[in-house]
């Protein structure tokens, strides 16, 4: 049975739910997040804290606008004598807002949008993926001290960088949890451990080889109910076969190193997992998973299932290339504002992805990941920019028009690759200046 046939697609969507989109970032929700983080507008300013939540989200939605243009574009200024606001006032307002309010906005809206989205399942499991990415920050002394740079024996990064690890539901591309820190402070596995508590029960999480840490995998599956994982077997990994359970599959025992047991509290001496081997286009693929029941989780589906891990890679591309218009360096000059900006980016991405999910589920047999993010985002951003001036009574009609456009954003079937995968070096107009480590 193909994966597309095995997915349990549940269509519980009605256009009436979509017409309430404007309420998901309602003033009441924003006020709740501000109150929880102790952020309040003590006196009437031209830029209130409630308005600044929209402004930080708009930094990602409308990347080509400067902050002063953005404030005017979203019409978030309070009435006053001057039709504009000084750039320094925007920075000061962002500093008063802080990062915790934006983090809480992401967490609360993530929960609301997941509840309103009819997610697909495989054998009763929600399909999740975890992976990491790097964000560039402006080259300021504050960012350099706070975030550090990646380096090797020959060269160092030109920019301070932030390491981010995300958890994504692969059929809707909705982000369920995010953690980020300095590239010099923690690795991806350490950040992934921060996502365990936010992982839903009865789920299957895909990892790549970079997360091959037996202590992390044990922690993942032992927290909660049926929190399964799957990743490729690392090259050279040592294991002992406990017993064969069919052609090309066996239960294996992997031994944790003393360093791993010391790092991961409560980790056992060994970890039992299911190893599946399959020939794919002349190559042997070996997948390791915590789903040890071959009757409930058939081998034929599992190798194909792992290919959906690439959906989170597509998600990172959507955020960096299409949402941020390929402007890969973040805007903010201060570390606290960098973190605030990143929460705005993931909030804006989820906002667009939630709207796309509702559009997809209004069509028959279409999953959200089958829709073009680039074209959908261009259209939805244009509609979002009009909402501040739209009368509430007209919102249902606008949302119906958005749904009517859904079919035009469905991607065609992917063609088979006929050339080798490779990354080509981008031509440089100017010579690169070597970075000094001093």
**pLDDT tens-digit readout, 104-143:** 889 988 988 888 888 888 889 999 999 999 999 999 999 9
Please tell me the predicted confidence (pLDDT) of residue 364: 85
Please tell me the predicted confidence (pLDDT) of residue 133: 95
Residue with tokens 């390929």: 326
- Minimal CA–CA distance to 64: which of 256, 317, 311, 324? 324
Sign of the C-alpha dihedral computed for residues 115, 48, 37 and 330 taken in this order: positive
Please tell me the predicted confidence (pLDDT) of residue 164: 96
Q: How many CA atoms lie within 13 A of 300 on its CB side?
A: 7
Please tell me the predicted confidence (pLDDT) of residue 173: 94
Please tell me the predicted confidence (pLDDT) of residue 17: 42
Please tell me the predicted confidence (pLDDT) of residue 319: 94
Ranges in the chain, pLDDT < 70: 1-31, 33-34, 38-50, 71-87, 385-399, 414-419, 435-438
Q: What is the per-residue pLDDT across 30-83, written as a single tens digit (0 to 9) for each?
A: 667 667 776 655 444 445 666 777 778 888 888 887 777 776 655 554 444 455
212 phi and psi, to 5 degrees?
-75, 85
Please tell me the predicted confidence (pLDDT) of residue 179: 96
Q: Kindly give the residue spans of alpha helices, DSSP state H, lying in 148-197.
A: 188-193
Residues 6+ apart with CB under 8 A from 127: 120, 121, 169, 170, 171, 203, 204, 206, 305, 308
Q: What is the dihedral of CA 409, 415, 419, 425, to 10 degrees?
A: 10
**Paired tokens of 325:** 């218009």
**Paired tokens of 424:** 């080509």
Please tell me the predicted confidence (pLDDT) of residue 72: 66
**Paired tokens of 261:** 């047991």
Please tell me the predicted confidence (pLDDT) of residue 151: 82
**Paired tokens of 74:** 């979203």
191 phi and psi, to 5 degrees?
-70, -35
Angle at 138 between CA 427 and CA 181, to 5 degrees: 110
Q: How far is CA 327 from CA 1, 330, 432, in A?
A: 42, 8, 19
SS3 219: helix
- What is this structure's pTM? 0.85
Residues 6+ apart with CB under 8 A from 284: 277, 278
SS3 56: helix
Q: Is 6 exposed, middle or buried (0-12, 13-18, 19+ CB in 10 A)?
A: middle
CB–CB of 177/99 below 8 Å?
no
Strands 227-232 and 203-206: parallel
Q: What is the DSSP letter of 249?
A: E
Q: How many CA atoms lie within 13 A of 86 on its CB side?
A: 4
- How far apart are the two ends of the chain, measured CA to CA in Å? 59
């Amino acid at each position: 049975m193909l994966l597309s046939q095995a997915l349990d697609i549940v269509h519980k969507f009605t256009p009436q739910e979509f017409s309430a989109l404007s309420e998901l970032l309602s003033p009441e929700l924003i006020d709740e997040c501000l109150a929880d983080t102790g952020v309040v507008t003590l006196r009437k300013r031209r830029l209130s804290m409630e308005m600044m939540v929209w402004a930080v989200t708009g930094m990602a939605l409308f990347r080509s606008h400067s902050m002063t243009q953005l404030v005017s574009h979203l019409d978030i200024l309070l009435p006053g004598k001057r039709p504009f606001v000084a750039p320094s006032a925007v920075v000061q307002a962002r500093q008063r807002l802080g990062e915790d309010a934006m983090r809480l906005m992401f967490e609360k809206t993530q929960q609301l949008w997941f509840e309103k989205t009819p997610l697909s399942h495989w054998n009763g499991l929600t399909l999740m993926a975890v992976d990491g990415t790097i964000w560039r920050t402006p080259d300021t002394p504050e960012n350099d001290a706070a975030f550090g740079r990646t380096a090797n024996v020959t060269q160092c990064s030109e920019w301070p960088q932030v390491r981010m690890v995300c958890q994504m539901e692969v059929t809707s591309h909705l982000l369920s949890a995010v953690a980020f820190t300095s590239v010099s402070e923690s690795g991806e596995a350490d950040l992934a451990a921060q996502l365990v508590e936010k992982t839903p029960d009865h789920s299957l999480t895909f990892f790549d080889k970079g997360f091959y840490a037996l202590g992390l995998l044990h922690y993942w599956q032992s927290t909660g109910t049926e929190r399964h994982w799957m990743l490729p077997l690392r090259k050279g990994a040592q294991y002992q076969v406990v017993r064969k359970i069919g052609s090309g599959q066996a239960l294996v025992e992997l031994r944790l190193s003393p360093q791993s047991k010391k790092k991961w509290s409560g980790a056992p001496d060994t970890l039992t997992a299911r190893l599946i081997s399959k020939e794919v286009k002349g190559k042997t693929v070996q997948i390791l998973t915590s789903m040890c029941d071959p009757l409930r989780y058939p081998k034929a589906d599992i190798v194909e299932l792992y290919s959906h891990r690439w959906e989170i890679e597509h998600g990172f591309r959507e955020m960096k290339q299409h949402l941020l218009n390929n402007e890969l360096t973040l805007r903010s000059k201060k570390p606290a504002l960098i973190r605030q900006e990143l929460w705005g980016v993931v909030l804006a991405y989820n906002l667009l992805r939630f709207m796309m999910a509702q559009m997809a589920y209004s069509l028959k047999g279409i999953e959200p990941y089958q829709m073009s993010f680039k074209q959908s985002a261009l259209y939805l951003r244009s509609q979002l920019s009009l909402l501040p001036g739209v009368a509430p009574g007209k919102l249902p009609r606008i949302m119906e028009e958005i749904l009517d456009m859904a079919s035009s954003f469905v991607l065609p079937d992917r063609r088979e690759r006929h050339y080798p995968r490779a990354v080509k070096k981008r031509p440089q107009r100017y010579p690169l200046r070597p970075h000094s480590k001093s």
